[in-house]
Amino acid sequence: MIKLPLNWSYLVQKIKKRKPDKVLKIQDKEKKHIQRVQSKRFKSYQKCEVAQLTGQINQNKRIDQKPSLMSLMEQFLIDRKQQFDMLEKAYQENNEANIKVITNSLRFKYGIAGQGRQMAINKLCDMLVELLLPMHMRYLFWVASEDLDIFNRERQSGEFQSNDMSDSQLNCLNSFGLDDEQILKIQNMQSSIQEQRQYYDNLILEIFKIQNWITKESQKCQQIADEIWDILEPKQAAGLLISLDKNRTEQFKEKKVYPDCVLLTLQKKAKQQIQRKQSTYFEMKRQNKQEELEMQNYFQQDFIN
C-alpha cells in the first residue's frame, strides 16, 4: 500500500478546484499500482503453494519407495519366526548340516549386528529426526539462518517482488502481505531462532552419534557371541537359541533380565542429567537477562543525568 502524505486530502481538494481531471488520473494511478502489487503477491502466493505441494508430493513418493519402520519390524518378526521354526525342525531331526546353515543365516540377518536389526535401528533414527520438528519450524530455522524471505533486509520494506521467487528461496512468509510492523517483529526474533536452531543441530548430531555408536558396539558384541558359538557344538548352540526364544515372552519378563533389570535406574539417571543441563541453561538465560536490564538502567540513568 502506498504511504500517502498527511495532507493528502487537502491536496486533493486543492487540485479538484484547479484540475479535476488530474485528481482522477492520480486516483486511477494509485488504484492500478495497488492492483499490481496485489497481483504480484497473489502470483507469489500461488507459486509458493505450488512449490509446497510439489515438495510434499515428492516427499510422499520417497516415503512410499522406502520401507516404513512398521513394515520393517513386521517383516523382521515374520522372517525370524520362520527361521526359528526351521531351526527347531532341524534340531529335532538332528540334522547338523541344516543347523549350521540356519544358525549362520540367523546371525547374518537377525544377529546382534545383523542386517535386519541394523536396518530397523537406522530407520528408527531417521524417523526420530523426521519427528523432531514440524514443517513451519524447519522453514523458520532455514530462512533465519540463510537470511532469506523476510530476513533478507535488502528487499524494500513492505513490498514483495514476485521475481524474488526461486526454487531455493520460496519467500512464503513474505507472500502473505505482512505489514512493516509484523516484519520488524519477526526480524527481531532472528537471533533467538538461530540460537534455537543451533541446539537442534547439536541434538540431531547426537542422534547420529548414537546411531554410529550402536553400530560399533553391536559389532563388538557380535564378536563375543561368535566366540561363544565357537565353543559350543552346533546342536548345543541351536538348543540354546530355541530355549531362550521360547522363554523370552513369559519367564524372562517375570525375571526382568537385561535391560529390564536396570531400565528404571538408567531412565532416572538420564532424567537427572537432563534436568541438570536444563537448570544450567535457564540460569544462564536469567543471568544474561539480568545483565541486559542492568545495562539498560545504566544508560537510562546516564541519559537522565
| Residue 139, all three cell numbers | 522453514
Is-contact 161 40, C-beta < 8 A? yes
Residue segments in the chain with a per-residue pLDDT below the cut of 70: 1-35, 37-67, 69, 155-171, 174, 249-255, 259, 278, 281-282, 294-305
Is-contact 103 238, C-beta < 8 A? yes
- What pTM, to 2 d.p., does this model score? 0.58
Residue 169 backbone phi and psi in degrees, to 5: -145, 95
pLDDT at 287: 73
All residues at 6 or more sequence positions from 151 whose CB lies less than 8 Å from its CB, including other chains = 143, 144, 187, 190
Q: What is the pLDDT of residues 67-81, one digit of tens each?
A: 676 777 788 788 888
d(CA 229, CA 36): 78
Per residue, the 3-state secondary structure of the chain, as one string, reads CCCCCCCHHHHHHHHHHHCHHHHHHHHHHHHHHHHHHHHHHHHHHHHHHHHHHHHHHHHHHHHHHCCCHHHHHHHHHHHHHHHHHHHHHHHHCCCHHHHHHHHHHHHHHHCCCCHHHHHHHHHHHHHHHHHCCCHHHHHHHHHHHHCCHHHCCCCCCCCCCHHHCECCECCCHHHHCCCHHHHHHHHCCHHHHHHHHHHHHHHHHHHHHHHHHHHHHHHHHHHHHHHHHHHCCHHHHHHHHHHHHHHCCCHHHHHCCCCHHHHHHHHHHHHHHHHHHHHHHHHHHHHHHHHHHHHHHHHHHHHHC
Return the exposure string of 241-253: e unless at least 16 CB atoms fall within 10 Å of the residue's CB, then b. Answer: bbeeeeeeeeeee
pLDDT at 78: 85
pLDDT at 164: 45
